[in-house]
Structure 1
Amino acid sequence: MNWETLKLDIMDTGVSVLTFNRPDTMNSVNDQFCFDVQAVCKVISENDAVKVIVITGAGKGWSSGGDISMLASIEDPISAKATYDAAGELVKAIYELKKPVIAALNGVVAGASIAACLACDLIIASEKARMGFTFMQLAFCPDSGTSHFLIQKVGYHKALELLWFGKILNAEEAEKLGLLNKVVPHEECLPEAIRWAEKLAQQPLMTVGLDKKLLREAAKNNFYQQTELEAMYQVLAWSSDDFKEGCEAFAEKRRPVFKNR
């Protein structure tokens, strides 16, 4: 399935690979790109054959952020607000996916696209990947949710260091800061992300989804609120057919076959 700026490949395993497909511009973000990402996320959400999503980029980069030619052509504050709102909606579309999302970070990610990357649930990075916090070079603030994700990942002081000095992190540095999960040889980036996705697709996906909700709520809940939420979600998990299958498989010393219900 193809859009003007994207490709979507749906595999028999339940894994889908979404490719940002503007390689001539390092997959930079323009209005059409924002529209296409929102449209494809809607398709993904409504397609039961899609269990896990992997997002990668065509060419040498994952996404370089906002298309500079588009940003430079903005003529008034109203148009500027509409442009940045559209980028925010792109990130929201990825963040709001209830299914697991894995970024296969095959190269450079910079600017607003860092937010799109950090909105994913897991991040596998090529050894050639770079994270560019390059807003300051354009006298820009972080946008599209970058500051939200960044302060949760690295804290206030390190976040300001990255932003104020326009840091460009290599993959190993980003991993040490907790900005991604794993660094692999370049040629293994997408295959490893797909392996993780295929493994996830075999898990009880109802529980996977509940875990995703729990950890997001944990960032704002206190201990008492979070334990109450855990108890409620655990009752939901306990009520599922997959829990019964897990118990039976454990007793019978076999691998469980989950049906996601």
Structure 2
Amino acid sequence: MKWETVKLDVRETGVAVLTFNRPETMNAVNDQFCRDVQAACREVSENEAVRVLVVTGAGNGWSSGGDISTLAVIKDPISAKETYDSSGDLVTTIYELKKPVIAAVNGVVAGASLAACLACDLIIASEKARFGFTFMQLAFCPDSGASYFLNQKVGYHKALELLWFGKIIDAAEADKLGFLNKIVSPEECLPEAIAWAERLARQPMLTVGLDKKLMREACRNDYYQQTELEAMYQVLTWASADFQEGCRAFAEKRKPVFQNK
């Protein structure tokens, strides 16, 4: 399918690449963009051939956040709420995907789009990537889940420093703060993310999905709740055909060939 503001490339390797495609605005978020991203994510969710999603941006930016031309003409609280709900729904759609999502951050990411980026499971960034906590410049609070993800990543004190002073940080500082999985050269950003995605797509996807659930729940469970959940999920994987294949491959000293069963 084709959309106005995004492109979706589904590959035979089980990887889909979602490209934000408003390069003239640094892939800024507007209503159409929100609808298109959600529609593309629904297609990824429903397509059994897709195992991993990579998200990147066209041009020099991943996404610069809310489109100021849209924000500036909002005239009443009801319209404002609808606009921010739309942005929040975009982030929620990415966050709730059961399949792994890898962000290939090729350039600037700022504002509400930081939430979309941090909602991804893995983040690979170009050396030219910049992360802008620029809400304060517009007298805005963070939205679309940005405060949640930011606090999870860096903690209360550092999160407020980034927000209150509207900091723009480079890839190296973002990596020190724990945002990133890997920094690469600009030309390697998308290929490296795709390589990670293809490697992940060869793993037993039942286990991959349960790992994602476990790590999400670990953010709020205590030790006893989490170990109980681990035991339940371990029984599910034990009953899978892929577990049997993994055992056979180990005994036969070969690489396992998983069938996602």
Q: TM-score, normalised by structure 1?
A: 0.99
For residue 145 of structure 2, what is the aligned residue in structure 1? 145
Matches of 2:48 and 2:227, distance apart in 1: 31
* 1:231-257 Cα shifts (integer Å, max 9, x gaps): 000000101000000000000000000
Give the superposition deviation at 1:199. Answer: 0.2
Distance 2:50 2:73 in 1: 38
Aligned position for 2:222: 222
- Counterpart of 2:92? 92
1:72 aligns with 2:72: yes
Distance 2:15 2:44 in 1: 11
Matches within 5 A, 1:111-150: 111-150=111-150
Which amino acid is 1:235 matched to?
A: V
Name the counterpart of 2:22.
22
Cα deviation 1:115-170 (Å, max 9, x = unaligned): 00000000000000000000000000000000000001000000000000001010
2:173 counterpart residue number: 173
- Cα drift, residue 180 of structure 1: 1.2
Cα offset, 1:98, TM superposition: 0.3
Distance 1:198 1:231 in 2: 29
Q: Which runs of 5+ in 2 are unaligned?
A: none
RMSD (Å) for aligned C-alpha atoms: 0.5
Residues 1:160 and 2:163 are matched in the alignment = no
The equivalent of 1:106 in structure 2 is 106
Q: How far apart in 2 are the matches of 1:80 and 1:73?
A: 10
Superposition pairs for residues 171-250 of structure 1, below 5 Å? Answer: 171-250=171-250
Give the secondary-structure state (helix, strand or coil) at the position aligned to 1:109.
strand
> What SS does structure 2 have at the residue aligned with 1:169?
strand
| Alignment partners' CA distance in 2, 1:102 and 1:69 | 29
What letter is aligned with 1:254? Answer: R
Q: Figure out how many residues of one structure are paired with residues of the other and give that number.
A: 261
Name the counterpart of 2:60.
60
1:8 aligned partner? 8
By how many angstroms is 1:20 displaced? 0.1
Q: Secondary structure at the match of 1:8?
A: strand
- Give the residue type in structure 1 aligned to 2:241: D
For 1:171, give the aligned amino acid: A
1:106 shift after superposition: 0.2
Shift of 1:2: 2.3
CA distances 1:214-238 after superposition (whole Å, capped 9, x unpaired): 0000000000000000000000010
Instruction: Spell out, residue by residue over 1:149-200, the C-alpha distance to the aligned partner (whole angstroms, 9 max, x if none).
Output: 0001000000000000001010000000001111001100000000000000
Instruction: Give the structure-2-normalised TM-score.
Output: 0.99
